[in-house]
A = this chain, B = another copy of it.
């Protein structure tokens, strides 16, 4: 049944590789799914993985390549001549996977590999696919399709499908086109099973179809397939001619990657990294935002320098700086992440920026009143300076309002400027709110110490 990767299995396999026990290795890996093999490679050195790789069935070996992480695949292919890449891998893969693998190679190697392909139709499909941006429907689609003509009857249709099905892994829908290759509808396999064989297709097709153009963004493709619960989505050109299909497994990857990216951005990680990446890769992904935090900290120090006299007179004021800064940061991240998620899910509704800000103002006001009342009560009982008590509460309320407004506005503004709103989450919002919070606090403090 399902394979469970264990440390024992890896240790055994490493032993077998070291002892050149070809039979043992073969028996251990022969029935495994390419996705499991890719996980196994992750635990092996590159030489060990290559040793296993050559023992695999060609078809499986090609699939494993697709399942690997991009950087592992790159290392794997680097030493192989173009002809081997073409004959042993690319020819065995579906057009979309083939194009993805070739697209990662250096430009000159791409041409070499393509020139070694024997199947010219496959080569043509791949070249077509390479022309699309990878973040669009064109970049996600495969050219393998089962298409039938609307003028055929079910019998002809079944015969043609048998021919075409040889090259295709899974059939979800049969696409119906007219004589000009324009997409007219789909034929569900259920309909095929339930319909008499002499009827014309045109009478049983489902014409109520959803399709996308090649330049539709992958994010929109994912939203459409998720919303309408589709397992496959046809892609058409400007003349509505059917040119490919996107399957749900590729879209699940898009959804996961987008979610991971947003998650990493809100956590202050700038590049796609995994816990298993090298310490060096992890550092590079993390240090940019830390520099922003450092810069923010220096600005905060300069702001406090301006108020040095006030702090000298009332040193206790410094005690509540961490509280004010932390609350500004927390509120700002909350506000911005709600907007980023709404934008990602297409659930912003028709509210204008003004309306969203107004609603957020309500939320901020409730939070602000509750929290500043609590800190007022605390300071009133445990703190002997009434000026400080009032200052902390008033500043906390103001900071919550400011941080909410700023956290809500920035991602909406970026989105309107066609910049990814997720860039504004996490450390950026936190840093700005830290500084602004500090500034508000010290300003209010100066005023209130004059009054009380």
Contacts from A to B (Cβ < 8 Å): 1-2, 7, 10, 31, 33, 35, 42-43, 158, 161-162, 165-166, 168-172, 188-190, 193-194, 208-211, 224-231, 248-249, 251-253, 255-256, 259-260, 262-264, 266-269, 273-276, 279-280, 282-283, 286-287, 289-291, 293-294, 296-298, 300-301, 304-305, 308, 311-312, 315-316, 318-327, 329-331, 333-334, 336-339, 341-342, 345, 347-350, 356, 359, 362-363, 366-367, 370-371, 374-375, 378, 425-427, 430-431, 434-435, 438
Bound together, the chains give a CA A205 to CA B348 distance in angstroms of 47
**A367 with B290: in contact, given A274-B347, A282-B338 (CB under 8 Å)?**
yes
Bound together, the chains give a CA A276 to CA B347 distance in angstroms of 8
Looking across the interface, which residue of chain B has its beta carbon closest to that of A168?
B190
Question: Does the CB pair B286–A363 fall under 8 Å?
Answer: yes
Least distance between A224 CB and chain B CB atoms (Å)? 7
When distances are taken between beta carbons in the complex, the residues of chain B under 8 Å from A425 are: 267
**A301 with B323: in contact, given A43-B349, A231-B248 (CB under 8 Å)?**
yes
Question: Does the CB pair A263–B274 fall under 8 Å?
Answer: no
Name the one of B158, B274, B336 contacting A342, with C-beta atoms under 8 angstroms. Answer: B274
When distances are taken between beta carbons in the complex, the residues of chain B under 8 Å from A231 are: 170, 172, 231, 248-249
Question: Does the CB pair A327–B171 fall under 8 Å?
Answer: no
Closest 7 CB pairs of A and B: A297-B323, A259-B259, A267-B337, A275-B342, A229-B249, A300-B322, A301-B319
Question: Does the CB pair A322–B323 fall under 8 Å?
Answer: no
Question: Does the CB pair B193–A170 fall under 8 Å?
Answer: no
Least distance between A381 CB and chain B CB atoms (Å)? 12
**A294 with B374: in contact, given A248-B248, A315-B308, A350-B7 (CB under 8 Å)?**
yes
When distances are taken between beta carbons in the complex, the residues of chain B under 8 Å from A374 are: 291, 294
**A171 with B190: in contact, given A228-B33, A325-B325 (CB under 8 Å)?**
yes
Question: Does the CB pair B341–A275 fall under 8 Å?
Answer: yes
Looking across the interface, which residue of chain B has its beta carbon closest to that of A253?
B226
Looking across the interface, which residue of chain B has its beta carbon closest to that of A309?
B315
Question: Does the CB pair A326–B296 fall under 8 Å?
Answer: yes
When distances are taken between beta carbons in the complex, the residues of chain B under 8 Å from A171 are: 188-190, 193
Name the one of B345, B359, B430 contacting A330, with C-beta atoms under 8 angstroms. Answer: B430
Q: List 15 A-B contacts (CB under 8 A).
A: A170-B231, A231-B231, A252-B255, A259-B259, A274-B341, A276-B342, A279-B362, A279-B366, A294-B327, A294-B375, A296-B323, A297-B323, A300-B319, A301-B320, A308-B316
Question: Does the CB pair B434–A322 fall under 8 Å?
Answer: yes
Bound together, the chains give a CA A308 to CA B315 distance in angstroms of 8
Looking across the interface, which residue of chain B has its beta carbon closest to that of A158?
B193
Bound together, the chains give a CA A285 to CA B33 distance in angstroms of 43
Question: Does the CB pair B371–A290 fall under 8 Å?
Answer: yes
Question: Does the CB pair A190–B165 fall under 8 Å?
Answer: yes
Question: Does the CB pair B282–A363 fall under 8 Å?
Answer: yes
Looking across the interface, which residue of chain B has its beta carbon closest to that of A316?
B308
When distances are taken between beta carbons in the complex, the residues of chain B under 8 Å from A341 are: 260, 263-264, 274-275
Bound together, the chains give a CA A42 to CA B165 distance in angstroms of 43
Question: Does the CB pair A279–B359 fall under 8 Å?
Answer: yes
Question: Does the CB pair A327–B293 fall under 8 Å?
Answer: yes
Name the one of B228, B318, B359 contacting A304, with C-beta atoms under 8 angstroms. Answer: B318
Counting chain B CB atoms within 10 Å of each CB, the highest count among A225, A275, A280, A286 belongs to: A275
